[in-house]
Amino acid sequence: MTDPQIVLTERVQQALARAFGPEHADADPLIRPSQFADFQANVAMSLAKRLRRAPREVAEAIKTELADFPGTVEVSGPGFLNITLANPWIEVEAGQMLADPRLGVGTAAPAQTVVIDYSAPNAAKEMHVGHLRTTIVGDALARLHEHLGNKVIRQNHLGDWGTPFGMLIEHLLDIGEQAAVAQLEAGQGTEFYQAARAKFDGDEAFKTRARVRVSTLQSGDPDTLRLWHVFMDATVRFFNKVYDLLGVTLTDADIAGESMYNPMLQKTCDDLEASGTAVLSEGALCVFPPGFTGSDDKPLPLIIRKSDGGYGYATTDMAAIRYRVHDLKADRMLYVVGNEQALHFQMVFAAARQAGWLPDTASPEHVRIGMMLGKDGRRFKTRSGESVKLMDLLQEAIDRAAKLIETRDYDAATQREIAHSVGMAAVKYADLSVSHDSEYVFDLDRMVAMTGNTGPYMQYATARIRSIFRKAGLAPADATASIVLDAPAERALGLHLLGFGELVTQVTLGSEPHRLCAFLFQTASLLSTFYEECPVIKEGVDPDTRDHRLALCALTLRVLETGLDLLGVPVPERM
C-alpha cells in the first residue's frame, strides 16, 4: 500500500487509538493535500468537540503519538496537523513501485463478475455520435475492471429487433441483397432507413408488405429470418469497422442484442404476472413499481406487454436483467447508457427488485452518459440538422491530427499510424476527461490541441520521456537505479505517482474514468515542471543524478502509459 494518504490515515488512526482509546481507531482523520505541507489532518477539531477538550491540546496529543512517523508533524492554527513525509520514505516507496509490475494497483478480492452493457447502437438507424460516449466510457470501465482482476462480461445490447425491420427487409428485397449489403457495410444505414421509411409513408402496397413482413419475422419464418441475418450481419460489419478504428475491445461474441431475448419474453411476462408483480391495466400488462408517479400523480406503469400483445424495450430489459443475474451470475451490472433513459432504468431496476429478481449481492447501476452538444449548446447536429455520422467525425479527427504532425519527416506509413493514434486519442480522451454524466461540447479544435487536458497532450508527455530514453541510449525497462527526490520538482512528481494504485481502484469502483484523466493530467503537468527544472541527459549532469532521474522518468512513463491504456487511449512511440 503505497498511497501516502492511506498510509497516513492508518497512522493517524493508530495514534488516535493510543491517545484517546480504541473506540477512535476508525475515526476519519480527515486528511487532505495541503498548501503548507504534504497533507493536513483536521481530525483534532471535530474530536475536540466530542472530548470537550481544546483542539490544540488534542492535536498535540496526536502529534506525540506520531513521534515515530517518517516525516514531520506540526500543529498549526486552531489545531491543524501539518504533515510532511520524509524524502527517504517517498523514495523507498517509489522504488518499490518501480519494481512492481502492477505499479501498486491492487487486485479485487474476491474477484467479481461485472456485466457491462455498453455501446448498443441501433441497427435500424446508423450508429451515430450519441453512441460514441457510451462506447468509449463503457470500454474504459471494462478495461479497468479487467485490470483489477474482475471477470468482465461485455453485453452489446444492439437494437436489432422491432417493427421497423418489416420495412427494412422489404426495402432490402427491393434493391437486392448485394446492393443492400454494400450500402450497410459502408455505413449508409441512415440512408437505407430513410429510403425504406419514405416508401412506407408514401406507398400503400409497400406498407402492407412491410406489415406482413413484421409478422412473418416475429413468427420465425426461416426465409425472413435469413434476410434479417443478411441485414444484421452487414450492419454489424460496419459497427466493427468503427470499433476497430476506435480500438474498442467489443467483438461479435459480446453481441447480446434485443433479439436474443425474444425466446424469454413470454415467460418474463408470465412470471411477472403470476407473482403479482405485473397487473393488467387497460389491456396492457404493467408493473407499477412503488414511488414512480406521472405528472398527474397517478402511478407510472412500466409496460411489459402492450394491449395488442406486443413486447417492447422494457420487456427486453426485464428479461435481460434476469438473464444477467441468473445465467451470467453478475455481482455488478453496469448500464452505460444516455442520461435520457434514467427513468426507464430506475423503473426496470425497481420492478426487478419488486419481483425478487435482484439478490442483495447483484446491484444494477445506470452509468449515465451526458449528451454531446454542438458549439451552439444544442444537441450535436450537422448544419442541415441531421445527426452527425460517427465515421465522418472520426475521419475528421484523424485528418486534423495528420495536420498537427505533417511537418515531421516520418515516412507516409508512420505518419498515418501516428495521425490515427493522435486522432483517436483526441476524441476518446475528450469523452473520458469530463464526468460521464455531464454534457459536453464536441469541439475538435480543442480536442486535438497539444496543450491542456487533451489526449494529444498526454501522448506528447509520453513521447517526451521516450525521446529522453532514446537520447540516453537506454530502454525504459532498464532504468532501474534508485529514485532520489532532492529537487522540489522531483519530489512533487514522485509523491504524486504514489497515489496511482489507490486511484485506479477508486476510479473503477466509482465508474469515474474522468478522475483517472485528472490524475494523469496532473502527472503530465508535474512532469513538465520536472523537465524544465531537472535536466536528465544534458551535458554536465553527473552520472548518478542522471540515473536517478532516468528511474523517475521510467516510473512516470509507466504510470502514464498504463493509465492511458486502461482508458483505451492509444499511445504512439513518437509524435
**Where along the sequence are the contacts to ligand ARG (CB under 6 A)?**
117, 120, 122, 157, 159, 317, 320, 335, 337
Q: Which is nearer to ligand ARG, 123 or 217 (CB)?
A: 123
Q: Which is nearer to ligand ARG, 166 or 338 (CB)?
A: 338
Under a CB-based contact definition with an 8 Å cutoff, are residues 152 and 190 in contact?
no
Under a CB-based contact definition with an 8 Å cutoff, are residues 85 and 73 in contact?
no
We find the least distance from the C-beta atom of residue 122 to ligand ARG, in angstroms, to be: 5
Tally Cβ neighbours within 10 Å of residue 491. 19
CA distance between the termini of the chain: 35
- Which residue is associated with the grid cell 445490447? 157
Under a CB-based contact definition with an 8 Å cutoff, are residues 482 and 554 in contact?
no
We find the least distance from the C-beta atom of residue 343 to ligand ARG, in angstroms, to be: 13
Q: Which amino acid makes up residue 58?
A: V
We find the least distance from the C-beta atom of residue 531 to ligand ARG, in angstroms, to be: 44
Q: Which is nearer to ligand ARG, 140 or 333 (CB)?
A: 333
Instruction: Output the nine-digit C-alpha cell for 256.
Output: 447480446
Under a CB-based contact definition with an 8 Å cutoff, are residues 502 and 5 in contact?
yes
We find the least distance from the C-beta atom of residue 192 to ligand ARG, in angstroms, to be: 17
- Which residue is associated with the grid cell 476506435? 246
H or E segment to which residue 151 belongs: strand 151-155
We find the least distance from the C-beta atom of residue 512 to ligand ARG, in angstroms, to be: 20
Q: Which is nearer to ligand ARG, 123 or 493 (CB)?
A: 123
We find the least distance from the C-beta atom of residue 246 to ligand ARG, in angstroms, to be: 17
β-strand pairing of 80-85 with 302-305: unpaired
Distance CA 91, CA 535 (A): 19
Distance CA 289, CA 272 (A): 12
Q: Which is nearer to ligand ARG, 159 or 299 (CB)?
A: 159
We find the least distance from the C-beta atom of residue 183 to ligand ARG, in angstroms, to be: 21
Under a CB-based contact definition with an 8 Å cutoff, are residues 42 and 76 in contact?
no
Q: Which is nearer to ligand ARG, 81 or 120 (CB)?
A: 120
Q: Which is nearer to ligand ARG, 69 or 335 (CB)?
A: 335
We find the least distance from the C-beta atom of residue 228 to ligand ARG, in angstroms, to be: 17
Give how far the C-alpha of residue 131 lies from the chain's centroid of Cα atoms, to the nearest Å. 13
φ, ψ for residue 74, nearest 5 deg: -130, 145
We find the least distance from the C-beta atom of residue 264 to ligand ARG, in angstroms, to be: 14
Q: Which is nearer to ligand ARG, 38 or 117 (CB)?
A: 117
Q: Which is nearer to ligand ARG, 93 or 317 (CB)?
A: 317
What burial letters (b/e) apply to 128-167, b meaning 16+ CB within 10 Å? bbbbbbbbbbbbbbbbbbbbbebbbbbbbbbbbbbebbbb
